[in-house]
Chain A
Amino acid sequence: MSVWDSIRYAVAAVLMSIGAFFFLVGTLGLLRFPDFYSRTHGATKCDTVGAGSILGGLALLRGFEPDVLKIVAIASLVLLTSPTAGHALARAAYRTGLRPWTRRIEGGGQT
């Protein structure tokens, strides 16, 4: 493996671990947040970043091949569709009457 290959593999590994970390954080947000809206924003945002960086790492791993175009297409597709899906979910929830969760202010506590 030439020097460039090892650099490429290292950067791909770092990108993939970053993506995996974001997936973990998104899942924790999905489980821990008190309200549907906070869950939606947490999960969809982290999904977009996680999928984008893992696919970027995989594209880098592959080097200059025709397959890389497909991976880049998937990555750009995810970057487009995941926020849209999040918006559609939040709008549907709001229009069907789900109000955001707010902590009651006892004696002017922070919200």
Chain B
Amino acid sequence: MVVFLWGVAVFLLAVASICLYRAYMGPTALDRVLAVNVIGTKTMVLLVMLAFVFGRPLYIDVALVYALLNFVTTVVATRCFETGVLEGDWQ
């Protein structure tokens, strides 16, 4: 089972690095934000998987924080693109 987990983890790593192409080439800046969001989700799942492989359940909490951080980053970036203003009330 551990070998299967390692296989899926390496596969996720490869897929996340493929996403870097879109982060680099993305014509619009929002493409890059989308690529960061996609890579963040994959890294979070990879982290939970490593929690199983290394037998340390602490990584699951790190993955939870990372998932929240990833979401907040995307929303703040889109808000900054949309209105150019970060403080003030939400439209």
Contact = CB atoms under 8 A, between A and B. Distances in A.
**A and B interact:** yes
Interface of A: 9, 13, 16-17, 19-20, 23-24, 26-27, 30-31, 36, 39-40, 43-44, 47, 50-51, 54-55, 58, 61-62, 67, 70-71, 73-74, 77-78, 81-82, 84-85, 88-89, 91-93, 95-96, 98
Contact of A84 (B8, B35, B52, B75): B75
Given A58-B52, A95-B82, A36 B30 contact: yes
A43 B12 CA distance: 15
Interface string B63-91: 11001100100110011011000000000
**Dominant secondary structure at the A interface:** helix
**Dominant secondary structure at the B interface:** helix
B34 A30 contact: yes
B78 to A, nearest CB: 4
Contacts of B15: 20, 23-24, 27
B38 A26 contact: yes
Contacts of A44: 34, 37-38
B4 interface: yes
Nearest to A46: B38
B27 to A, nearest CB: 8
A16 B52 contact: no
A74 B19 contact: no
A31 B41 contact: no
